[in-house]
A and B are shown apart, each in its own frame.
Chain A
Amino acid sequence: MTHTATASSAKWRLKQPSIIPGFGLTLGFSLAYLSLIILIPVAGLLWRTAELGWSGFFAVFTDRRTLDALYISFGTAFLAALVNVVFGVIVAWVLTRYNFPGRRLIDAMVDLPFALPTAVAGIALASLYAPNGWIGSLFMPFRIAFTPLGIVVALIFIGLPFVVRTVQPIMEEIDKEVEEAAATLGANRFQTISKVILPGLMPAILTGFALAFARGVGEYGSVIFIAGNIPYVSEIAPLLIVIRLEEFNYAGATAIATIMLLLSFVMLLVINLIQAWSRRRYGNV
């Protein structure tokens, strides 16, 4: 692809020649639709933020309630992603390596958080982990629901498939011979797993972590039912946006949204960097 690009670099052209028709129509429609639905509305958000000016933006950003909400959103998302990395890798390992009754069914069930509407997950988790719920009552007097810990529970639910589904395909490709070589060289099973298998899985694990974390930061529906939503304690940033909107404080809502948007772009960049790094190092993923 690169050499054809240099060959035609004498004259700049948008697309390589092809006998297949429909380029103008399909690309034109795609760009128009993308602009109308995504680009113009998101640009509008950035435009509104620019109108606030630095001082207005800074006033919202340094507000105690905004900072606490951002801290809670990012902190709980980070914790939940960590838990998901540990248990997600175990789940992926069990699903790829072991055979036990119901494995297929459990494999399919891992995708449940992708398919189950967030509001349904939210009310189900809230009633389960509430002090009088099936799971919540086991932990009494220690409270899970309606505390920041409840947010972590909801985000573990939401983020789990991201970790399992990024790690699982890479695990399936591991060559058994590598492990056998490690065993013949005298490594015990624990050493083989921690020194041979896990390093190769690291890029996938990091990508899964980043995806679960990014999703958790923006999550709204499953969290608000279980969080308790106490300002400064268990109020997440997306909820604060909704509250500001309901107060008709558009400037406040816009500024918080822009901060979150910028942070998630940074996350997206990090994910792409991890993948580029792992491609260079391992040639796959």
Chain B
Amino acid sequence: MSENASSTISKQPFFRDPADERPLAKTLLILVALAFLAFFLLLPLISVFVEAFREGWGAYYEALVEPDAAAAIRLTLLVAAIAVPLNLVFGLCASWAIAKFEFKGKAFLITLIDLPFSISPVISGLVYVLLFGSGSLLGPLLKSWGIEILFAVPGIVLATVFVTFPFVARELIPLMQDQGSGDEEAALSLGASGWQTFRYVTLPNIKWGLLYGVLLCNARAMGEFGAVSVVSGRIRGLTNTMPLHVEILYNEYNMVAAFAVASLLALLALVTLALKTLLELRFGAGNAGGRH
């Protein structure tokens, strides 16, 4: 069809849409945008995989099954498995309270939920060092009970929960505010209990937005570096997450191993992006954009 259109146009005198750029300007702008994205986004991504496979599949596989790397992978999965559900429950509670009710101080509460986005990850880790470190009130007390927070798994989980705190809530609050509470009021007036209303009315309405928030939350939880590096102590095989393991290997000039572990994280990012794009195309979830 487009061929027909262009052939009829070519017989008429030349006409250019005055509210459009000249083809040359268009091509130039596209080329500038593509070159910029290639230099800053595409090449870094490709280089991760090229460096990882520099010495072939054998070395790549070796770097991933080596005990310290395997321990780092397990710890990363464990931390995400704790942190993501915690923030999921919080996100559901906070968005229910904020979207379904009118109360005083709501705007302030939303600002507070966003707070971790505007705090440097290093500071997110530092606050827990100050809270549980040797110079604090809590640290020595917990230690005397045999509970280790810093330089142990609980500290890593806490720091991860801190930095991934807003992700689910931020997706759900605008979504549930848009949907209003008419459906819930109808269900309640028909005799459904509060839980039934949530389970059979609200949850189906928000499931794609919820999945979207969980995806982003999980990607950040598995990839967090700054906050975790401050509280972890980087004990190999014990408190090393995957990003921290990448750093150690890189600083030891063990490039193939560093990029091999990094390539797993890059793969996670690509899967996250693919699912995110799919959700946006299919269900229009998460068009809020920005601020992650």
Contacts and interface: CB of A to CB of B under 8 A. Distances in A.
B102 A16 contact: yes
Interface of B is mostly: helix
A242 B101 contact: no
Contact of A91 (B36, B94, B158): B36
Interface string B211-248: 00000100100111110011000000000001110110
A81 interface: no
A211 B246 contact: no
B30 A100 contact: yes
Contact of A221 (B18, B89, B119, B121): B121
A104 B273 CA distance: 12
B90 A29 contact: yes
Interface string A208-239: 10010010011111000100000000000111
Nearest to B292: A114
A268 B118 contact: yes
B140 to A, nearest CB: 14
Contacts of B188: 19-21
A169 B48 contact: no
Nearest to B42: A109
Interface in B160-199: 161-162, 165, 181, 184-185, 188-189, 194, 197-198
B39 A23 contact: no
Interface in B63-97: 86, 89-90, 92-94, 96-97
B129 A94 contact: no
Contact of B165 (A38, A156, A169): A38
A264 B118 CA distance: 6
B230 A242 contact: yes
Given A117-B222, A221-B226, A109 B122 contact: no
Residue picked from B113, B126, B246, most chain A C-beta under 10 Å: B126
Given A125-B44, A135-B43, A41 B162 contact: yes
Nearest to B90: A33
B266 interface: yes
B33 A90 contact: yes
A176 interface: yes
A87 B38 CA distance: 12
Given A38-B165, A124-B47, A21 B41 contact: no
Interface of A is mostly: helix
Contact of A44 (B25, B131, B161, B162): B131
A211 B292 CA distance: 10
Nearest to A126: B250
A140 B242 CA distance: 33
Contact of A119 (B47, B90, B243, B272): B243
A214 B43 contact: no
A182 B18 CA distance: 9
A241 B122 contact: yes
A39 interface: yes
Interface string A98-135: 10100010101111111111111101110110000111
Nearest to A217: B120
A236 B278 CA distance: 37
B262 interface: yes
A202 interface: no
Interface in B262-292: 262, 265-266, 268-270, 272-274, 276-277, 287, 289-292
A120 B250 CA distance: 10
- 10 closest A-B pairs by beta carbon, nearest first, are A117-B223, A218-B120, A221-B225, A183-B18, A41-B127, A21-B194, A220-B226, A15-B103, A165-B289, A179-B19
30 contacts: A20-B197, A23-B100, A23-B103, A26-B94, A29-B90, A37-B161, A38-B162, A44-B136, A87-B36, A108-B277, A110-B37, A115-B269, A117-B225, A118-B226, A119-B246, A123-B258, A124-B262, A127-B51, A135-B39, A160-B40, A166-B289, A189-B21, A192-B19, A219-B120, A220-B122, A220-B225, A241-B122, A257-B120, A257-B126, A264-B119
